[in-house]
Structure formats: structure tokens, C-alpha cells
């Protein structure tokens, strides 16, 4: 494993997801500034996620064809600018457009960085991908608390400071692109020699050319996408509405909601980081089943209690359960599409997070007509659907 580059790309992932993670913490301030309803606020989550979801598979296809590493720092800058300028925009629709631009920037980062981590991790892919994905979760965790602290200190105009960290990491990656290109050329040369030697050995042994590489498993990947979408709705629903739930249902101050969201995501990041060994031992499908099975009661109990102390304690099992299923889905997707790792990464790491935002406006409508609690009670249902789908996602016979 090229540990140095894996860590650098993990920071890249973290900075991209800090921007998506900070948006829910901005919502209470934007709701006041622009006099927004829950539905309109949820539409901002929709804007960043729909732009990211639609374009992310295209970046995945591009990543499989050409190593355009410069797209990663460009994506970080776009992701940062889109969120950083929200405090300076004159009206709701200008905010909508800029958070959509931020989503495009995030979409540019995930597939290329994830595919590169897969290759850099060598025979320790579970460890490398776990570090990479946990860094993204940590970005979601840091985003709300970072945004809340900045906005409390400087007001809504302080949003511009959210651009600083992504810009710094973008410069670091830009400086390392020549080394990454040199490493890639070396790997291509080694792979070509190995393929030629294998073909010669097969020809000598059988008198025929070496067999073609295994085809991708598109059917189970399609089922996996269904489970990914259901999990994404649960994750995005909590990410968008948990701070508002803490404020309006449990009657806590604005900072408390951001703190609880950060707590959930930090626990999730730690869980993701430690999943590599468990996946190697028990397999992806079993860990998916465990995660979805545990998520259903954990989420349900969290939304039924009214005591803030009990609710705070229940954040722990919710985070553990929800993030137990995440890394297995990412790894399983790359194994199913082992010839199209960039596309698989774009879906499992990118769309897996983004597509739930498309469902966010519906949750916002339910919250406006009933309550945030009623909207969030839909989430355990999606976890149950994901659990059913996980039974139809077998372990592949090959390993990417």
C-alpha cells in the first residue's frame, strides 16, 4: 500500500464532504436570512445532491478511461466556493444555484480519488478503502460543527472561511500530481509485463490464447444500487434534519443540533475506519445484513423518545449500525464492477451519499404538514427495504 498517497486522498475526500456536511448546519441561519420553510430548506439539500448524483457516474466513466488527476483539486475548489458564498448571496435562488455548483465539485472528487485509492492499496484494499471512506464520514462530521462555530463567531458572512481548508488540500494534491502520474506509468508497465507472461504461460500449457478477463456482475450491482439508495435516504435524512429535530422537537439550542450530528458522524467515521478487518473476516454481505438489521430498531427508538439525554445516548447505536453497512457496500460494488472501478466508486461512494438528497424535499413536505419526527419515522422503513435487498447481493467469486 502507498500509505502516503492514500492518506492524502483521504484528506481530499474529507475536504469534499466537509462542504456537503456543513450545509445542514447552515440551514437554520439561511432559513432566518431568507425566511424559508422546511420544504424550501430541504430543496437546498436537494440542489447539491441532485447535481452531484446526475454527474457523478459520468466522472466515474471518465476516471476509468483517463487518469485526469487535476480534476480532484478543481472539484475541491468548486465544492468549497459553492458553500462559502452562501452567506453573501442576495436571495434563495442564488443560494440554490451555488450549492448545486458545490455538488458538481464534490461529484468530481469521489470517483477519481476512490479508484486511485483502490489501486494504491494493493492487496490491502479493504484497509485502504475503509480509511478513505471513513475520512469522508469525518468530513461530514466536521462540517456541521465547523460551520456552526464559524457562524456563531462571525455570523452568516463567516461562511467564506469554509473555503480555506479545501483550497489548502487542493494545492497539496496539485503539487503531487506529477508523482502520481509517474507511479501510474510504472504500474502500467508492470501490469503489461505480467499480462504478457501469463498469456505466454497459458499458450504453452493449452496451445491457445489466455482467456478473457472476467466480466462485470451487473445484475447484483443493480440490486446493490437499490440498497445503496435506501441507505442514502436514511443517511441524508438524518444529516439534513437531525440538527432541526434537536432544535424543534427536543427544544435544544441551535449548537446542540450540530454537536449531535457531529457526534453521530465521528462515531460513524471510527466505525468505518475499523471495518477493514471485519470485512476480511466475515465478508461484505454479512456485515451489510448486520448493519441494516441493527439500524431499524436503533433509529426507531431514537425517534420515539422525548428525553434529550436518552436520545443523545441512542445516537451511539444509530451511528454504529448505519456505518457498519457502508464500507461493505463500497467494496462489494468495486468487486462487482472490477473492470469499471471508477464507475462503481462514483455510485457507491458518491451517489450513495448524494441520491438521498433527491428524497429530502419529500421529507421536508412531510415535516411542514406534520412534524420533523413524522418525516424521520419514514427512515426505518427504507432500512428494512435495504435489509431485504442485501440478501440478494452475494459475495463475488473474484476480488478486485
Q: Which pLDDT score, from 0 to 100, does residue 209 have? A: 47
Q: Give a yes or no: residue 324 inside a domain.
A: yes
Q: Which pLDDT score, from 0 to 100, does residue 388 have? A: 96
**CATH number of the CATH domain containing 300:** 1.20.1250.20
Q: Domain tally for the chain? A: 1
The sign of the torsion formed by the CA atoms of 246, 251, 254, 256 equals negative
Q: Give a yes or no: residue 300 inside a domain.
A: yes
Q: Give a yes or no: residue 125 inside a domain.
A: yes
Per-residue model confidence as pLDDT tens digits over 15-31: 988 887 788 778 888 88
Q: Which pLDDT score, from 0 to 100, does residue 277 have? A: 81
Q: Which pLDDT score, from 0 to 100, does residue 354 have? A: 64
Per-residue model confidence as pLDDT tens digits over 136-190: 888 877 887 788 888 888 888 888 999 999 999 999 999 998 888 887 777 767 6
Which pTM does this prediction carry? Answer: 0.72
Q: Give a yes or no: residue 269 inside a domain.
A: yes
Q: Is 101 exposed, middle or buried (0-12, 13-18, 19+ CB in 10 A)?
A: middle
**Cα–chain center distance at 373:** 24
- Structural domain for 182, as ranges: 3-207+216-390
Q: Which pLDDT score, from 0 to 100, does residue 265 have? A: 82
Read off the C-alpha cell for 40: 424550501
Q: Give a yes or no: residue 249 inside a domain.
A: yes
Query: Residues in the chain with pLDDT < 50?
Result: 208-212
Q: Give a yes or no: residue 396 inside a domain.
A: no
Q: Is the separation of the CB atoms in 64 and 342 below 8 Å? A: yes
Taking the C-alpha atoms of residue 238 and residue 241, their distance in angstroms, rounded to an integer, is 5
Q: Give a yes or no: residue 385 inside a domain.
A: yes
Q: Give a yes or no: residue 397 inside a domain.
A: no
Amino acid at each position: 500500500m502507498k500509505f502516503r498517497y492514500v492518506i492524502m486522498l483521504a484528506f481530499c475526500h474529507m475536504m469534499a464532504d466537509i462542504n456537503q456536511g456543513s450545509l445542514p448546519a447552515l440551514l437554520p441561519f439561511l432559513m432566518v436570512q431568507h425566511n424559508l420553510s422546511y420544504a424550501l430548506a430541504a430543496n437546498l439539500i436537494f440542489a447539491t445532491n441532485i447535481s452531484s448524483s446526475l454527474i457523478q457516474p459520468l466522472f466515474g466513466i471518465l476516471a476509468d478511461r483517463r487518469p485526469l488527476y487535476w480534476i480532484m483539486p478543481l472539484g475541491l475548489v468548486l465544492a468549497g466556493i459553492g458553500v462559502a458564498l452562501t452567506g453573501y448571496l442576495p436571495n434563495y435562488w442564488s443560494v440554490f444555484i451555488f450549492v448545486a455548483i458545490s455538488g458538481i465539485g464534490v461529484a468530481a472528487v469521489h470517483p477519481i480519488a476512490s479508484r486511485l485509492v483502490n489501486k494504491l492499496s494493493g492487496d490491502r484494499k479493504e484497509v485502504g478503502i475503509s480509511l478513505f471512506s471513513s475520512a469522508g464520514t469525518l468530513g461530514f462530521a466536521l462540517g456541521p460543527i465547523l460551520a456552526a462555530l464559524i457562524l456563531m463567531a462571525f455570523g452568516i458572512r463567516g461562511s467564506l472561511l469554509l473555503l480555506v481548508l479545501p483550497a489548502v488540500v487542493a494545492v497539496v494534491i496539485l503539487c503531487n500530481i506529477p508523482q502520481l502520474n509517474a507511479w501510474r506509468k510504472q504500474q502500467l508497465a508492470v501490469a503489461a509485463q505480467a499480462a504478457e507472461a501469463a498469456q505466454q504461460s497459458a499458450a504453452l500449457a493449452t496451445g491457445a490464447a489466455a482467456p478473457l478477463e472476467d466480466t462485470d456482475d451487473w445484475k447484483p450491482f443493480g440490486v446493490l444500487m437499490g440498497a445503496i439508495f435506501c441507505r442514502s435516504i436514511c443517511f441524508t435524512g438524518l444529516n439534513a434534519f437531525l440538527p432541526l429535530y434537536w432544535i424543534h422537537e427536543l427544544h435544544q439550542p441551535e449548537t446542540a443540533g450540530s454537536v449531535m450530528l457531529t457526534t453521530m458522524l465521528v462515531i460513524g467515521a471510527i466505525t468505518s475506519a475499523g471495518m477493514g478487518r471485519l470485512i476480511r473476516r466475515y465478508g461484505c454481505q454479512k456485515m451489510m445484513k448486520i448493519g441494516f438489521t441493527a439500524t431499524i430498531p436503533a433509529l426507531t427508538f431514537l425517534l420515539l423518545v422525548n428525553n434529550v439525554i436518552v436520545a443523545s445516548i441512542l445516537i451511539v447505536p444509530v451511528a454504529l449500525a448505519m456505518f457498519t453497512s457502508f464500507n461493505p457496500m463500497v467494496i462489494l460494488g468495486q468487486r462487482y464492477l472490477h473492470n469499471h472501478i471508477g464507475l462503481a466508486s462514483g455510485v457507491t461512494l458518491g451517489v450513495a451519499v448524494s441520491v438521498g438528497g433527491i428524497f429530502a424535499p419529500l421529507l421536508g413536505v412531510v415535516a411542514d404538514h406534520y412534524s420533523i419526527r413524522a418525516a424521520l419515522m419514514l427512515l426505518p422503513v427504507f432500512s428494512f427495504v435495504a435489509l431485504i435487498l442485501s440478501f440478494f447481493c452475494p459475495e463475488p467469486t473474484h476480488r478486485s
